[in-house]
Amino acid sequence: MRWSALFADLESQLAAAGQAGLEAEAAERTRSEYADLNLVGRLGGQLGRILDVRAAGVGFSGILRHIGRGWILLEEEAGQALISLAGVAWMGGLDRYALSAGARRSALGLGSALRGLSRERADVAVYLDGAADAGQVLRGRLERVGGDFFELSAARADGHRSGLIVRTAAVAAVRAR
């Protein structure tokens, strides 16, 4: 009878040690897989959620509607914000458990998204993220979009429009109302 109790106790200890080993292996595998996850993958499970984003010293808040190649689109209360991921300082409001390593994202780059805004002829605010111009806001209408720049025109007091050439790489976000 004592042998039965001893064997039962040993089997119980062995099972507990095996379970602890499995749990440790699973935890390590989870950490390793998370280390391979990029920001686009992390955002893939967040479509439709309200996110808070800080870019170029400005806060943006809205529903995540689209993830592109290097950018996201938030639907804000009064319009839309096209935000370059390169200009993002932080994000909040993400679901801790919604991950998507194979996130569906658009193959369209920031230039393609800007061309879409240009077609709408909407007035925009362009938030710059360059070292010398961080926090600067340009206002106007996107006229034409080139490969790595766009033309922004602003209405002058005399009714004419004046133009600027803006490098796409200097853009942290574009807000359309």
- Kindly list the distances between the CA atom of residue 139 and the CA atoms of 22, 79, 126, 152, 174, in Å, as whole numbers in the listed order: 57, 15, 6, 8, 10
Q: Is 52 exposed, middle or buried (0-12, 13-18, 19+ CB in 10 A)?
A: middle
- Report yes or no on whether pTM surpasses 0.85: no
Measured distance CA(151)–CA(145) in Å, rounded:
6
> What percent of the chain is modeled with pLDDT above 90?
50
Given this model, what pLDDT does residue 165 score?
95
Stretch 53-74: mean pLDDT? 95
39-176 CATH: 2.30.30.600
The domain segmentation of the chain, as residue ranges, is 1-36, 39-176
Residues recorded for the chain: 177
Structure token pair of residue 4: 């039965």
Q: Above 80 in pLDDT, residue 27?
A: no
Contact assessment for residue 117 and residue 176, using Cβ atoms and an 8 Å cutoff: yes
Q: Give the per-residue pLDDT at 28.
A: 64
The conformational region for residue 15 under phi > 0 = left, psi -120 to 50 = alpha, else beta, is alpha
